[in-house]
Structure 1
Amino acid sequence: MGRGQRTRLALLLGAIIALGPLTIDMYLPALPSITADLLTTSATIQLTLTGTLIGLALGQLVVGPLSDALGRRRPLLIGTAVHALASALIIVAPDVAVLGGLRVLQGAGAAAGAVVAMAIVRDLFTGRAAATLLSRLILVMGAAPVLAPTLGGELLRWTQWRGVFAALAVYGLLLIPLAAWGLRETLPPERRRSAGLRNTLRTYRGLLGDRTFVGLVLVAGLAMAGLFGYISGSSFVFQEQFGLDQQQYGLVFGAGAIWLIAATQLNPALLRRFEPRQILVAAMSGGTLAGLVLFATSSTGIGGLVGLLVPLWSVLFATGLVLPNAPALALSRHGEAAGTAAALLGAVQFGVGAIVSPMVGVLGNDALAMGTVVAAAMVLALVVLFAVVRPSRLGDLDDAAAVAAAH
């Protein structure tokens, strides 16, 4: 495959994998207005975010094995069509119950892109070429959740909250012909696996029986939970507590992407000098310290908005280092079932996010609630890293993981 073809493939897969983060986060600036329009509470409306994450988690568990059995294109096209339909129906959702149900369906449809894009890379490339393309997709997965509210805030200059979902429906509809014409089937019939329930459960049982793999998946999931704790509470904290408007909120939220992107771009350089487990331990330790500082400033009010943002962005920077290295170490243990392992990894990340997201609303939807959830997620991730994973056991995985996490 020539360089131009690789570039086109990277752009298309990036557009596909961005569907999930955009679906989760583009409507965040509109949460207060949705709450008022549908005559509900902020805690209830945050459950629509939880529903999306549940859909993404369960969808990946189903799509992963299906893509190994049916090929990559059919699950991708069907899933994207389901997402577009759900997005269109949300435009006329009459109440929060219907909105929540459609958000679950939206998430399930978007899950196809998350799983299939990764699988296509593994079908076409190996070694450094695969690592290079995978890292670009990881960058999209990390940056898109932080940039999406900025895009949503700009859309709200011209439309109401239902217009955000109209934009998502159009985006999904555009992806269907692009994927149909731009992606060939990359998994030939002779390489496909049985889609039987027994074989699928056997594979998942083997993965869940690996303590180190499960620990690394939980570390990645809890780090993502800290990010989702920020995502779910930020619109209420910044707009209602600190008085920012929708566009200002989008800009402040988007500024956090700088730190996340900086970390993902710094990671390849760090891997030339340090082992993945060393970077993971340092990032988790630094992120936990930043989370505790965030808890302190949010509970005392010291520093105002700046006192909140500095440790928050530090947590984002640490997360940008954790997310490439923890999954790379985990997946390097199970190359024979990489697609299913990646699906389980993604499902746990979004599943933990689904559990954590409503906690900010339950605790009060203020800076202290957000800081408490973010700090707790980082502390728990650090505990799992040292108590379950035990970094000293990861030395034999560093070489394989460095290839998966670099570039």
Structure 2
Amino acid sequence: MNMRPDISAAEPLATVSAPIMSERRVSLIGGLMVAIGPISLALFTPAMPEIVQAFGTTEAAVKMTLSLYFGGFAFAQLVCGPLSDGFGRRPITLVFMAIYLAASVLALVAPNIETLIAARFLQGVGSAVGVSVSRAVVRDVFTSERSTRIMNMIGILLALGPAIAPTLGGLTMEFFGWHAIFVVMVLLGIVVMLVTIFALRETVTRDLSRIRPAALARSYGSVLRSPYFVLCSLVIAGTSGAIYTQATVLAFILMDRVGLTATQFGVGMLMQTANFMAGALIMRKLMPRYGAARMVPVGLFFVAVGSIAMAIVLRAYEPTFLRVMVPVGIYAFGIAMVMPAMMTAALAPFPGNAGAASAMMGFFQMGAGMVGGAASAWMGDPINALATVIPLMGLTAILSWLIWRRLPEPTLMTRLK
């Protein structure tokens, strides 16, 4: 099996010796761009029980606003990633953020739940560009340990967004009503567009041949034929994808069953993100000494502990804040140690198809959230869903990593193992 990466498809403008943007600049821009999707998700969650009452609808209908958001996010990445390979990172970012901005305005004025569901789907489509392009930009400009350091910093910034978002969403809803949450999203979309215009430099050469159907098929075919990529993406799907699945159930558990207010829920979600940030900071400190790859099994150990705790504690006892959030926090701590190395590993063999590879990786990630959220909605009881779906996702990540470790490594993967 030939695992040597094909580097003929696209030519990044940057080189390792003379990057066109600094690590800090790429980290900050990438963190902002990648965070817009999770922030738009987390801002909305405190309002979900209120929206059930506001539109006189059902929990299942409101959960559809999340499921279709995941769907739009997942499938749009398969388009915006390759488009950014062909047209460039900056113009595609602006186009998709314009879609996000228009969808946020539509959600703000939505007269019924059907319109809100449609708006959330379009928001997912627009915000998908952030994840796809930010990771591709990192791959364009940096490789190996430098790429892993930036992925780790992006992870820290990514954690800050969802940490603040539920609290901001809860406070905004209590003081100004749930409609004001979408005003915040409009402002966020404007900020990302301004940063793209004034701070993001182009990192690939425009080449429309890359977006021809045959070229796209070859790009995705080369990505999906790589066991390295598929298994790395399954590890990412089973870890970070679990965070998105949890978003579909935690609001109903903590607000409806435990009895928290919207603001209390938002503040309480800081526990999940504080654990994630602690893991990311520890990872950043230990990575120069031990290497990113050696931290992955440590992270997966915590994922396993969190999964087992959810499966046992939530079935044996009535839910309380700590009984729910301690296992969730342990799981999140482990995710932070897994993500940087596995994201770098997934993209490393594809310097010429970084946009397509990043898009497919994001599809796995958000697709896991969509499937997990749909499974949770189908199960009905949010506590049973949390105690079942998340442990299964953790098991998927662990098994995928164990298989990945046994594969022969392609040339550009040598430094990651």
Q: CA deviation at 1:324?
A: 1.7
Q: CA deviation at 1:72?
A: 1.5
- Distance in 2, Cα, partners of 1:6 & 1:333: 21
Q: Which residue of 2 aligns with 1:55?
A: 72
Residue 59 of structure 2: which of 42, 52, 63 is its match? 42
Change (3 A) 1:21 1:346: same
Q: Which residue of 2 aligns with 1:169?
A: 186
- Whichever residue aligns with residue 31 of structure 2, its letter is G
Change (3 A) 1:391 1:154: farther
- Whichever residue aligns with residue 93 of structure 1, its letter is A
Q: CA deviation at 1:314?
A: 0.6
The 5 Å alignment of 1:132-281 reads: 132-189=149-206, 194-274=210-290, 276-281=292-297
Q: Which residue of 2 aligns with 1:115?
A: 132
Q: Which residue of 2 aligns with 1:347?
A: 363
Change (3 A) 1:181 1:275: closer
Q: CA deviation at 1:259?
A: 0.7
The 5 Å alignment of 1:381-396 reads: 381-386=397-402, 388-391=403-406, 393=408
Q: Which residue of 2 aligns with 1:81?
A: 98
Q: CA deviation at 1:319?
A: 1.3
- Whichever residue aligns with residue 330 of structure 1, its letter is A
Change (3 A) 1:3 1:330: closer
Q: Which shifted more, 309-318 or 353-362?
A: 353-362
- Whichever residue aligns with residue 355 of structure 1, its letter is V
- Distance in 2, Cα, partners of 1:8 & 1:332: 21
- Whichever residue aligns with residue 401 of structure 1, its letter is L
- Whichever residue aligns with residue 202 of structure 1, its letter is R
Contact 1:218 / 1:381 at 8 angstroms: preserved in 2? yes
Contact 1:277 / 1:395 at 8 angstroms: preserved in 2? no
Residue 396 of structure 2: which of 352, 377, 380 is its match? 380
- Distance in 1, Cα, partners of 2:79 & 2:258: 41
Residue 362 of structure 1: which of 378, 386, 390 is its match? 378
Contact 1:21 / 1:144 at 8 angstroms: preserved in 2? yes
Q: Deviations over 1:170-210 (max 9, x none)?
A: 22123323322333333234x77521011111111111112
Q: Which residue of 2 aligns with 1:405?
A: none
Ranges in structure 2 where 5+ consecutive residues have no aligned partner:
1-17
Contact 2:31 / 2:154 at 8 angstroms: preserved in 1? yes
- Whichever residue aligns with residue 147 of structure 1, its letter is I
Q: Which shifted more, 279-288 or 216-225?
A: 279-288
Q: Deviations over 1:127-150 (max 9, x none)?
A: 555444333223223442343212
Q: Which shifted more, 281-290 or 148-157?
A: 281-290
- Whichever residue aligns with residue 91 of structure 2, its letter is R
Q: Deviations over 1:257-316 (max 9, x none)?
A: 111011112123333454544432332233123211111110111684323322221111
- Distance in 2, Cα, partners of 1:110 & 1:377: 24
| Structure 1 residue matching 2:174: 3-state secondary structure | coil
Change (3 A) 1:396 1:116: closer
Contact 1:43 / 1:358 at 8 angstroms: preserved in 2? no
Contact 1:48 / 1:103 at 8 angstroms: preserved in 2? yes
Please, what TM-score do these two structures have when normalized by structure 2?
Answer: 0.87
Change (3 A) 1:62 1:37: same
Change (3 A) 1:235 1:131: same
Q: Which shifted more, 328-337 or 95-104?
A: 328-337
Structure 1 residue 329 and structure 2 residue 345: aligned? yes
Q: CA deviation at 1:392?
A: 6.4
The root-mean-square deviation of aligned C-alpha atoms, in Å, is 2.6
Contact 1:56 / 1:110 at 8 angstroms: preserved in 2? yes
- Distance in 1, Cα, partners of 2:80 & 2:335: 26
Q: CA deviation at 1:244?
A: 0.7
- Whichever residue aligns with residue 210 of structure 1, its letter is S
- Distance in 2, Cα, partners of 1:236 & 1:299: 17
- Distance in 2, Cα, partners of 1:301 & 1:394: 45
- Distance in 1, Cα, partners of 2:333 & 2:239: 11
Structure 1 residue 16 and structure 2 residue 33: aligned? yes
Q: CA deviation at 1:90?
A: 0.7
| Structure 1 residue matching 2:211: 3-state secondary structure | coil
Ranges in structure 1 where 5+ consecutive residues have no aligned partner:
403-407
Change (3 A) 1:56 1:300: same
Identity %: 25
| Structure 2 residue matching 1:185: 3-state secondary structure | coil
Equivalent pairs counted in the alignment come to: 400
Q: Deviations over 1:42-81 (max 9, x none)?
A: 1221121111111111111101111111112111111111
Please, what TM-score do these two structures have when normalized by structure 1?
Answer: 0.89
Q: CA deviation at 1:378?
A: 0.9
